[in-house]
Amino acid sequence: MTIHRIALGGFQYETNTFSVKHRADYRYFLDERDRPALTRGPAILDRLAGTSFAMSGFLDTIGADVDLVPLVWSSGGAGGLVTDDAFERICAELVGRLSEAAPVDAVYLDLHGAMVTASLEDGEGELLRRVRACVGESVPIVISLDYHANVTPQMVELADGIVAFRTYPHVDRVDTGRRAAAVLERLVREGRPQGRSLRHASFLIPLESQCTLLEPTRSIVAHSRCDDGGVVSLSYLAGFPQADVFWCGPCVVAYATTQAEAEQVTASLLEAIESREPDFAERVWDVPSGVHEALRIARHAQKPVVVADIQDNPGGGGTGDTTDLLKALIEAGAQDAVVGLIHDPHTAAQACEVGKGRRLTLSIGGRHGPAGVTPLTAECLVEQIGDGRFVATGKINGGNETDLGPMALLRIEGVQIVVTSKRMQAFDPAPFHHLGVDLENQRLIVLKSTCHFRADFEPIAEQVLLIAAPGACVANTLDLSYLRLRPSVRIAPNTHRRPRQ
């Protein structure tokens, strides 16, 4: 029996090019947050097995008759540009380990697909170029990508299979890794596919309209489930509109045994996307109207009203510390409300120093803009403190060891505030439970998230409202100043109704 040598690694990051306050340097990738720090060699097999990443599913699925060659795996979440130093150091280590391990029979890479560095629009394409140069033209390379990838022709040409998440919220990351393993095993048997096709849509889709629980995206994703027969892989990717790059936007990509098959399936799926353009429109409230509506519904609701602070979503490059929505809730006299997660290590440290049950005046958040956003200064009761170490329990990150640093639960009148020392999107109940918050007995739950919160918070919600308070993860693509996007692309869908109020 032939034992195949499979090299594997990953380098994940989603760049919001409009988020100018944040840079992902090398130290950033070394830090434990809601995901493992940079992991090397055999530790990848131990650290990622049984967790919720695509690499986890790949490791669980790949056959026992293989010799795994783990390289480097890193996931930085989302934020501003990756520094050149971080990109070069991580890529050099991954490719260096691959070179030392040569020859290999195939390569699997767990990527994101929307990495932009200080010098490169297409971080994944450059990484793939170096990997291809290392392994040669005959070795299959399969990559898994995030649903929000901005796929480039270089990525499609250099890889031999692209397997993308089919859900947003991303509850199928593990399944994506399993599908990637199946594609790779097929290519090891059959060789690199001859057909490959990439087609981009003619418009951008705002993040809040990309949710796969809602139409029209739910039906579009259903159309993408035909990776069988001569089709090696078929993926729909909604794109990451917060990236000012040439190839930003929704696309479909297919690999097949023939070019005709690849072209046929991408043409059919793209037609389904283009035909639904007017339907990509979710209602987004402004702060005064949204707060008023949330309080109105909460007065008679049997379950919590869940409010998403969509423009301060750390998962899309938001700073996680804006305060306009928090201030509006307090001014409106909100009761039985909890707001999270606010990233403010200074405030968390102050609260932890004085301890549970103490009162002190704090200036919370508002330290990283945008213009006009200021800290909320008020007398606070420290209701609970924590070390920020817990295991995530939600449908996206469940099972992942998490370290958010010192945390505190503060109260200002009827509003509780969860403050963390490290950024994390509010998509998992565990950070709230870590501080003793009883989520189901709240009237209002306010989350810094765009869509991922729906996986665990929508089931307990009376209703969900999306509010666009100031933040770096700008929801309305018409408000973004694109300079590099290809000129043929409409910046927003041609909707028949106004998505914002």
Are 434 and 408 contacting, i.e. CB atoms less than 8 angstroms apart? no
Average confidence score pLDDT of the chain: 95
Separation between Cα atoms, residue 181 and residue 61, nearest integer Å: 6
What is the predicted pLDDT for the residue at 369?
83
Q: What DSSP letter does each residue of 19-64 carry, written as one string?
A: -TT--B-HHHHTS-SSSPPPEETTHHHHHHTTSSSHHHHHHHHS-S
Query: 0.85 exceeded by the pTM?
Result: yes
110's tokens? 């767990």
What is the predicted pLDDT for the residue at 1?
53
Separation between Cα atoms, residue 295 and residue 116, nearest integer Å: 40
What is the predicted pLDDT for the residue at 394?
95
The number of CA neighbours under 13 Å toward the Cβ of 6 is 29
What is the predicted pLDDT for the residue at 229?
81
pLDDT above 90 covers what percent of the chain?
91
What is the predicted pLDDT for the residue at 233?
95
**What pLDDT tens digit does each residue of the chain (501 aa) get?**
578 999 999 999 999 999 877 899 999 999 988 899 999 999 999 999 989 999 999 999 998 789 999 999 999 999 999 999 999 999 999 999 999 999 999 999 999 999 999 999 999 999 999 999 999 999 999 999 999 999 999 999 999 999 999 999 999 999 999 999 999 999 999 999 999 999 999 999 999 999 999 999 999 999 888 767 899 999 999 999 999 999 999 999 999 999 999 999 999 999 999 999 999 988 999 999 999 999 999 999 999 999 999 999 999 999 999 999 999 999 999 999 999 999 999 999 999 999 999 999 999 999 998 889 999 999 999 999 999 999 999 999 998 999 999 999 999 999 999 999 999 999 999 999 999 999 999 999 999 999 999 999 999 999 999 999 999 999 999 999 999 999 999 998 875 433 333
**What residues does each domain of the chain span?**
4-279, 287-474
What is the predicted pLDDT for the residue at 500?
36
Q: Where are the beta strands (DSSP E) in 146-242?
A: 161-164, 195-200, 231-237
What is the predicted pLDDT for the residue at 360?
96
Measured in degrees and rounded to the nearest 5, phi and psi for residue 466 equal -105, 125
Separation between Cα atoms, residue 286 and residue 294, nearest integer Å: 12
What is the predicted pLDDT for the residue at 495?
57
What is the predicted pLDDT for the residue at 501?
36
Q: Give the closest residue to 56 by CA, choosing from 39, 77, 79.
A: 39
What is the predicted pLDDT for the residue at 497?
36
246's tokens? 């040439």
